[in-house]
Structure formats: C-alpha cells, structure tokens
Amino acid sequence: MEILSAEFVVSNTKVEKCPQDNLPEYAFIGRSNVGKSSLINMLTKRPKLAMTSSTPGKTLLINHFQVNKEWYLVDLPGYGYASRGKKQVEKIQQIIEDYILEREQMTNLFVLIDCRLEPQKIDLEFMEWLGENGVPFSIIFTKADKLTSGKAKDNVNKYLRKLAEQWEELPPYFISSSEKKTGRNEILDYIDSINRSLKTQDS
C-alpha cells in the first residue's frame, strides 16, 4: 500500500472526543519507550509526524493521524512507566483502557514488544486482558536492528513459545525496525487487507 497522505488530526484524553467519521483505525500500544511513535513515523515515512523521545513517557494523549483520507493510525501513551507517580500512572491507564474498550472503530490493536527482552509479566498480562475482553490484536516485535537477525528471530520464537502456553491460537506478529524500515511492507499490507475486508463487508 502506498502512503499518499498522513496528517495529524487531534490529540485528547477522552474517547468521546476522538474523530466521529467512523473510519477504521489501527492503534499502537506497549510499554513506554518501546517505539510506538517511531513506528508510526516509519510507516508513514513522515519522521516528525508523531513525537518521539529517548526518555520514556513522551506520548501522554490519544493521537489520531489520518492516512490516505481513509483510515487512522492512533498513537497511544505507553504503559508501565512507574516513575511517573501513582496518580499519573492511573490516569494514563484509564485513558488507555477507555480507548481500547470503547472505541468501536478500532479494528486492530498492535501490541509492541521490544524484541531484545525476555517475556515480561506486564505485557503478558496486558495481552491476557485483551483476550478476556475480545479485543483484536497483533504483535510487533520492535528494535530488531539492535540484534543480529538470527538472534532477533530466536528471541521472537522464544516469545511465541511462551505465548503458546497461554493461547490456543497465536496472534499475527511482525518484526520491525524503525531505524532500518524493517517490517514496513508487511505491516502496511496487513492493514490494507483488513481495510479491504471491511469494505467488502460494507458493500
């Protein structure tokens, strides 16, 4: 899929205030600093579209970016950044939960996992919660450029084996690097295939 346009539309903390035009949307979630905002910039080839930072806790709002005038990429705040303080953590948690559970046009949630890490409890529990709530999701293993491709694949396979202990069927998954643009075509093709299937359902 070609990206012909990508524009920032709105940032806010409330689901009710998100765009009302009913276009399908694809949201990005995961621990702070895992690379959600960078991935949005990589996919759209707009390096400054979503704000990124080497310090965790950069994205604090629900950010809508309209692509090709037909669908949205949604950048969400990260979870699991404890040094924010309890109140702020709870507030962010609420924003994330409300968006995920209430936003009907959210057709797929991408859960980002740093491909270098062992499976973390916080991510496993988060995906379990998604499953319990029937939220459609896929996984993107990020920062693949930080490992050799063999090591990245080994880690991903290890992760998938861990997931298989918990899940009967594994979610679709991708390996990405925003630095090297790895995974871009695969992720965009996947989004495109969902967009197409939604269109056939509509007609």
Amino acid at 54: S
**CA-CA distance, 18 to 100, in Å (whole number)?**
12
Quick one: tokens of 2? 């070609």
- Positive or negative, the CA dihedral 63, 66, 67, 70 is positive
**DSSP state, 70?**
T
Selected from 26, 38, 84, 152, the binder of ligand GTP by CB under 6 A is 38
Residue whose CB is less far from ligand GTP, 43 or 195: 43
- Positive or negative, the CA dihedral 154, 159, 164, 170 is negative
Residue whose CB is less far from ligand GTP, 38 or 195: 38
Q: Which of Mg ion, ligand GTP, none interacts with 56 (beta carbon under 5 to 8 A by kind)?
A: ligand GTP
Selected from 18, 27, 34, 135, the binder of ligand GTP by CB under 6 A is 34
CB of 58 to ligand GTP, least distance (A): 4
Selected from 57, 88, 119, 198, the binder of ligand GTP by CB under 6 A is 57
> Interface mask (CB under 6 A) for ligand GTP, residues 94-123, using x and -?
------------------------------
Quick one: tokens of 15? 């689901």
Return the axis-axis angle of helices 184-202 and 36-44, rounded to nearest 10°.
Answer: 80
CB of 25 closer than 8 Å to CB of 71: yes
Q: Which stretch binds ligand GTP (CB under 6 A): 4-12, 93-101, 138-146, 152-160?
A: 138-146
Positions that interact with ligand GTP (CB under 6 A)? 32-38, 52-54, 56-59, 77-78, 142-143, 145-146, 177-179
